[in-house]
Structure 1
Amino acid sequence: MNWGEIVTPTMGYAELFLRGTAAYLGLTFLLRIVGRREAGGLGLGDLLVILLVVDAAGPGLLGEASTIGDSAILVVTVILWSVVIDAVSFRWPRLGLLFKPRPRPIIEDGRLNWSAMRRELMSASEVESQLRLHGVRDMSRVERAFIEPNGMVSIVMSEEPVNPEAQKHPDI
């Protein structure tokens, strides 16, 4: 067994770094466009890092098309970009909006926000289902409900109905 053949990268460091960078940034952009609900309980960035690390490490471990060195450089590149984007988002929040989505209101003052629901491809019955999962029976008492960046729904309730007109469907 020749350890040099197993560990030494078969491509240049710069090419591997550029491949990892293109994959990470390209998929980050695509996932940012797609929406939040596809991620489940994970944040899109978390999901992206997991998928890319597994994909990058696989061939090197299995010996299919690259060496462990190739895989290691790609894995380090993906993790590096994840840390850089988190740091940029923390340091410059406005710039971070390009990479990190904000919560989107799907209910405001007891009323469904149809434009946000269309953007997230959510039907009224799906929103009602999320309200039931949170134990909410009366939409008129919901001040705000948000679809969070990780795809989950958070709800801010009011003691009094914030929109008596929304009591058309008191039992969700």
Structure 2
Amino acid sequence: MHFFFHGQESLSILDWILRAAVIFIFVIFTVKIMGSRAISQLRLLDFVIALMLGNIIAHPLSDHRIGLKGSVISTIVIVVLYLLGIFLSLKWPGLRRIINSKPFPLIKDGEILYKGLKRARISIDDLLAELRKEKVEDVKKVALAIWESSGEISLFLEPQFEAITPSFYQLQTEPFDLPQTVIREGRIDFSVLRRIGKEEEWLIHTLRSSHHTEINNILLATIDRQHNLQVFLYK
């Protein structure tokens, strides 16, 4: 066990493997104790491997006295442990619950749950800031706010405060249409023209007649299903 805590002149391959495995497990439990705000939108295992690999790879690059053998072995061990952790968490829900905490409420029926704030380790100011990001100015409008294992907050408003959509009035709507970029920084994307069955001459004529401009003046131009052009010029 001495090679875990004290520096050595050299370590065997087995020593490097054991050291990497112990540190991997230690970092997982350390981050769990710190809380999911520390990982911020990353899964626990993703954060741990990014943290460890960054340090392992950086050391031999910045210190000529450190050989590459230890870093290579440690990296391989950590990647294997990472893939094993993902596989086991998919196979065993119990382990998944240990690695990724179960979501819990912060707000319910317009009331702030202080126990939830303590568990998430966030303050009232942090909670209000998250509400403002979602354009919610009043806690009473929130039916449910859930703290996710990734450190994000999922918000559900009371029905009377939800945005009205066409389905509320049972209105017919057009299918979703994602415009395609046909010109980018003065260059035509000919694959888009071929896809919509148009020629370069048609594009040039349309730009001159409808937008009174040339291709070289265009920063971005998109085209929809109805072949309508949206043009953004250099300014």
1:65 Cα deviation (Å)? 4.4
Structure 2 regions of 5+ residues with no counterpart? 1-9, 162-235
Q: Relative to total residues, which structure has the larger helix share, 1 or 2?
A: 1
Structure 1 regions of 5+ residues with no counterpart? 1-9, 162-172
- Establish whether residue 160 from structure 1 lines up as the match of residue 196 from structure 2: no
- What count of residue pairs does the alignment treat as equivalent? 152
Q: Take 1:26 and 1:155, find their aligned partners in 2: how far apart are those partners?
A: 33
| Counterpart for residue 135 of structure 1 | 135
| Counterpart for residue 70 of structure 2 | 70
Quick one: structure 1 residues 62 and 127, their matched pair in 2 at CA, closer, same or farther if it must change by over 3 Å?
A: closer
Check whether the contact 1:88–1:95 (CA below 8 A) recurs between aligned residues: yes
1:16 Cα deviation (Å)? 0.8
| Counterpart for residue 81 of structure 1 | 81
Q: Take 1:61 and 1:11, find their aligned partners in 2: how far apart are those partners?
A: 19
Look up the equivalent residue of 1:143 and give its one-letter code: A
1:106 Cα deviation (Å)? 1.0
Aligned pairs for 1:9-158 within 5 A: 10-158=10-158
Q: Take 1:65 and 1:149, find their aligned partners in 2: how far apart are those partners?
A: 40
TM-score (norm 2): 0.59
Look up the equivalent residue of 1:36 and give its one-letter code: S
Q: Take 2:30 and 2:104, find their aligned partners in 1: how far apart are those partners?
A: 18
Q: Take 2:44 and 2:24, find their aligned partners in 1: how far apart are those partners?
A: 12
Q: Take 2:119 and 2:97, find their aligned partners in 1: how far apart are those partners?
A: 17
Tell me, what secondary structure is at the counterpart of 1:98? helix
Q: Which moved more, 1:148-157 or 1:40-49?
A: 40-49
Q: Take 1:63 and 1:123, find their aligned partners in 2: how far apart are those partners?
A: 41
Quick one: structure 1 residues 40 and 95, their matched pair in 2 at CA, closer, same or farther if it must change by over 3 Å?
A: closer
Q: Take 1:57 and 1:98, find their aligned partners in 2: how far apart are those partners?
A: 28
Quick one: structure 1 residues 14 and 145, their matched pair in 2 at CA, closer, same or farther if it must change by over 3 Å?
A: same
Check whether the contact 1:60–1:69 (CA below 8 A) recurs between aligned residues: no
Q: Take 2:11 and 2:17, find their aligned partners in 1: how far apart are those partners?
A: 10
Tell me, what secondary structure is at the counterpart of 2:11? coil
Look up the equivalent residue of 2:148 and give its one-letter code: E
Look up the equivalent residue of 1:40 and give its one-letter code: S
Q: Take 1:124 and 1:100, find their aligned partners in 2: how far apart are those partners?
A: 24
TM-score (norm 1): 0.79
1:28 Cα deviation (Å)? 0.2
Q: Take 1:159 and 1:54, find their aligned partners in 2: how far apart are those partners?
A: 46
Look up the equivalent residue of 1:129 and give its one-letter code: A
| Counterpart for residue 166 of structure 2 | none
Q: Relative to total residues, which structure has the larger strand share, 1 or 2?
A: 2
1:75 Cα deviation (Å)? 0.8
Q: Take 1:12 and 1:156, find their aligned partners in 2: how far apart are those partners?
A: 55
